[in-house]
Structure 1
């Protein structure tokens, strides 16, 4: 009965001079929906007879759609007579199904279902792929866009119109349900204009969110500039310190689930890389002017520490990839225009061990060498290589495709970092992609003249020492957490106790490990305090005494973290050494971390002693 009444109303109220011929509901069926992120909704899916173009368009009725249609004021007194919320969504196989990032269709579809479900209304799924030109032609247009044409120019170059979509069928579908007045969820003014001309009143144009990514920026800009879409492509809001850490905390369970896979494939799984990008992790130190967050040392090291609670290999790799984005932001404008052209998070590996050799040639340098420990190289577009030219040490920026990757990372721990070797023989590097290492590392670097973000003004050596102790601390914290859970339930052979926690020796061992981690944390926090105190000064320099205290605290933190893991392993029985047990992986990872120069204690104690005694630090990179 309700269906019949709706049809009569639509035929009565629609202006006769503009109304398309009437369509009728053909069928309706309830369909539960579930999206990849876990969001669920229930839709009543309607099909139609008599649509003008003869295509199989769908209408999804969502939420309290009947109430929104008949009496919207009861749902929201602020919206009397406004009509249901409606989204005209043109089919996009690549975006809706495969998650293509070249457009914003998939995220818009997901957003529309949630917003309409909350207020009541309709999502019209219109079979107009590629703005009406079809799937194959759309893919042909993608190929033309890769040569430099925008999305509209590509359509025209293929002999199509810029936008061939016609919303007559949409008006018919709405009319069949009596929706003669609607609130339209869109950024596209043409949709509102066409519906209005077809007799559907648009009381409000509700903008969708801007689902911006490096892959679709040009596409969205063309829509904004060419067809007046209401899109604000200003860079996304910078999360607060706590918001950023909450994003990372949400990733920890997934990192733990994938830790074994990470070690097995000797690199970070692509699923984890996507999670990290989605959370904005690689933007933490990236300048705000290029779409980054421009955050400080405190946020950066906390991100690495918390990632270490999930997977030390991931924490190590990601910590360096974040840091290398920051290093790229220290280069002159020409390089920054190149590396940040596709977004705020260009990924680069960096290595200077051992230093390669450079020869001056016309237009630049010819470099040769084999560089080791290139952490992050398996995920990078660029690689930063240290070379020596006479008395000057240079850093060279090279596309990853120009060097040879050597699969040599077969190690006992940190296997998931994929820190393979890089080799180049007489590779030409243009002069603009080379920079004096001393200038790059200084507080007054070329990037500091471009970006006001305080982090870009920080001496480079300050951040280079932070990753290993943060990852070790996070790993030790996770180990204590697992040890606590284990002793509270574990039955130990040849003892009288029902569980390990009932043993005084186990109680003492747990408190010992707990105290070591607390010590590691306090030393780590003291190091960060020293760094941030200097970070707030101009110029951002540390005295020898501060440098000594900072490096000593980091070294002692790493040692305490490793000792805590050793104590835990010694009390966890033989099963802890099974490859399926995360504790053995943590021990191996932390042991490797402790051998990194930033945590090797003997030289740290020597140089810290000199600095604290006022004798002068003799290692410039300390």
Structure 2
């Protein structure tokens, strides 16, 4: 069978059991006590939407943004508001709820799932002056899509600014603005010279849509519909004081939100929120893998093998072995993910914090699962053969999307393993945000104290 003849497929074939989620026989294990009615409702509605998401995934890739039907459907479920306070029109869901929703989305359109995760940038506006918060969320009820995106906030290189009366004049280019084509506001990082002290300082500012242009530079291997374009302001734009927060003050402000709003999301500590975010990205990888396996099962049950006398590939022992191992990878990744997501929520409800040195170990567990899923998805494509490389075949999209996810700096195995290895050998830990650390003497101006610096173990 030629690649050109490959139909677009998705979902388990008739007669094959589903790989996860609600089914006629129920889940394999009792559902988590931390899965709320709202989270269950969103997850189940998204699972019902999988045919639509899969149908429009290629359209989103061509647009470099979510297809209109996908954007509207995901917004209608409420998924772009999972991190927004209840008081401001959102749901403030916990780690388990959010991971369940993201995993379900990942089975149909990984770009949509990615944008649900990063829509938490809107939560960042809560750390600003209340006037900025009110400005950002004024249109939340009518806005379709994420309300705000972030671009180059914590990167080593940010935009340039200067202090003026009432605020700052800012210009620059900010990369990786996921959701930039869909969001109402953008948050960006910039540096400026403090007029009083002469110190080089770093800050985060909120820009309105009329203060930047979107650069046509998101031409990448996968996650193409995330609209992770750069944005640019070639001329200085004015950012009022109330829409600016100094970066070394941001984590303190965000931590101060704990308990100020309703919902489990606002019971998490700062470290709990950090690992909850990593849980969501691991859930995306697992969702991609599960969707790919469902498609693999459907195709293998229909296709004849190239050079063996079986009616379909599903009769081949080698294909059965691939499928069996793939399911084990998903089950193992699920076990790790749900353990950590539930523990994050349990601690939040109990008022217990995570100690700083626990975060790298949890993150390493989750990053490892991302890469296990990547290898599994690669194996499905190789086992299915040349028919899987057709652009109409969802498995090739799964391969591309999960590779882009795994190349993100936060999810690369070896750097994360080094951080954990230092801990195992009792060596001094790195700061949580190394890019914001003071540079070594003689290498350049300091950015100030490191937010989230890791204290030594007792």
The two structures have a TM-score, normalised by structure 2, of 0.78
Matching residue of 1:566? 378
Instruction: Describe how 1:247-396 pairs up with structure 2 within 5 A.
Output: 247-321=45-119, 323-343=120-140, 347-352=147-152, 353=155, 354-389=157-192, 390-396=199-205
C-alpha offsets along residues 156-200 of structure 1, whole Å, 9 cap, x if unaligned?
xxxxxxxxxxxxxxxxxxxxxxxxxxxxxxxxxxxxxxxxxxxxx
Candidates 190, 207, 211, aligned match of 1:398: 207
Q: CA deviation at 1:451?
A: 2.1
Does structure 2 conserve the Cα–Cα contact (< 8 Å) formed by 1:526 and 1:550?
A: no
Change (3 A) 1:613 1:301: farther
Matching residue of 2:41? 243
C-alpha offsets along residues 561-595 of structure 1, whole Å, 9 cap, x if unaligned?
10110110110110110111111111011111110
Shifted more, 553-562 versus 519-528: the winner is 519-528
Instruction: Describe how 1:198-209 pairs up with structure 2 within 5 A.
Output: none
Give the distance between the partners of 2:313 and 2:259, measured in 1 at CA: 60
**2:231 is equivalent to residue 422 of structure 1:** yes
Give the distance between the partners of 1:435 and 1:587, measured in 2 at CA: 39
C-alpha offsets along residues 111-163 of structure 1, whole Å, 9 cap, x if unaligned?
xxxxxxxxxxxxxxxxxxxxxxxxxxxxxxxxxxxxxxxxxxxxxxxxxxxxx
Change (3 A) 1:619 1:534: farther
Give the distance between the partners of 2:361 and 2:343, measured in 1 at CA: 8
Local SS of the residue matching 2:127: coil
Structure 1, unaligned runs of 5 or more: 1-237
Local SS of the residue matching 1:310: coil
C-alpha offsets along residues 37-61 of structure 1, whole Å, 9 cap, x if unaligned?
xxxxxxxxxxxxxxxxxxxxxxxxx
Q: CA deviation at 1:334?
A: 1.3
Aligned length in residues: 383
Does structure 2 conserve the Cα–Cα contact (< 8 Å) formed by 1:372 and 1:422?
A: yes
Local SS of the residue matching 1:429: strand
Give the distance between the partners of 1:391 and 1:305, measured in 2 at CA: 42
Q: CA deviation at 1:278?
A: 1.6
Structure 2, unaligned runs of 5 or more: 1-35, 193-198, 435-458
Local SS of the residue matching 2:411: coil
Give the distance between the partners of 1:611 and 1:393, measured in 2 at CA: 29
Matching residue of 1:115? none
Give the distance between the partners of 2:121 and 2:359, measured in 1 at CA: 22
Structure index of larger Rg: 1
Does structure 1 conserve the Cα–Cα contact (< 8 Å) formed by 2:39 and 2:100?
A: no
Matching residue of 2:368? 556
Candidates 473, 476, 489, aligned match of 2:302: 489
Does structure 2 conserve the Cα–Cα contact (< 8 Å) formed by 1:610 and 1:616?
A: yes
Instruction: Describe how 1:18-97 pairs up with structure 2 within 5 A.
Output: none
C-alpha offsets along residues 272-314 of structure 1, whole Å, 9 cap, x if unaligned?
2221222111222211112222221211122111110011111
Change (3 A) 1:526 1:604: farther
Give the distance between the partners of 2:347 and 2:259, measured in 1 at CA: 20
Q: CA deviation at 1:538?
A: 3.8
Candidates 401, 406, 409, aligned match of 1:597: 409
**2:384 is equivalent to residue 587 of structure 1:** no
Shifted more, 281-290 versus 385-394: the winner is 385-394
Local SS of the residue matching 2:427: coil
Q: CA deviation at 1:448?
A: 4.2
Candidates 314, 321, 330, aligned match of 1:501: 314
Q: Which has the higher contact order (CA 8 A, sep 6+)?
A: 2
The two structures have a TM-score, normalised by structure 1, of 0.58
Give the distance between the partners of 2:355 and 2:399, measured in 1 at CA: 34
Change (3 A) 1:331 1:301: farther
Does structure 1 conserve the Cα–Cα contact (< 8 Å) formed by 2:129 and 2:243?
A: no
Local SS of the residue matching 1:510: helix
Change (3 A) 1:268 1:584: same
Does structure 1 conserve the Cα–Cα contact (< 8 Å) formed by 2:267 and 2:351?
A: no
Does structure 1 conserve the Cα–Cα contact (< 8 Å) formed by 2:304 and 2:313?
A: yes
Candidates 429, 437, 445, aligned match of 1:617: 429
Q: CA deviation at 1:539?
A: 6.4
Local SS of the residue matching 1:378: coil
Change (3 A) 1:612 1:547: farther
Give the distance between the partners of 2:259 and 2:133, measured in 1 at CA: 12
Give the distance between the partners of 2:423 and 2:101, measured in 1 at CA: 30
Give the distance between the partners of 1:456 and 1:440, measured in 2 at CA: 16
> RMSD between aligned alpha carbons?
2.2
Shifted more, 582-591 versus 511-520: the winner is 511-520
Instruction: Describe how 1:464-479 pairs up with structure 2 within 5 A.
Output: 464-479=277-292
Matching residue of 1:84? none
Give the distance between the partners of 1:356 and 1:463, measured in 2 at CA: 29
Matching residue of 2:388? 576
Matching residue of 1:435? 245
Matching residue of 1:511? 324
Give the distance between the partners of 1:393 and 1:537, measured in 2 at CA: 35
Local SS of the residue matching 2:221: coil
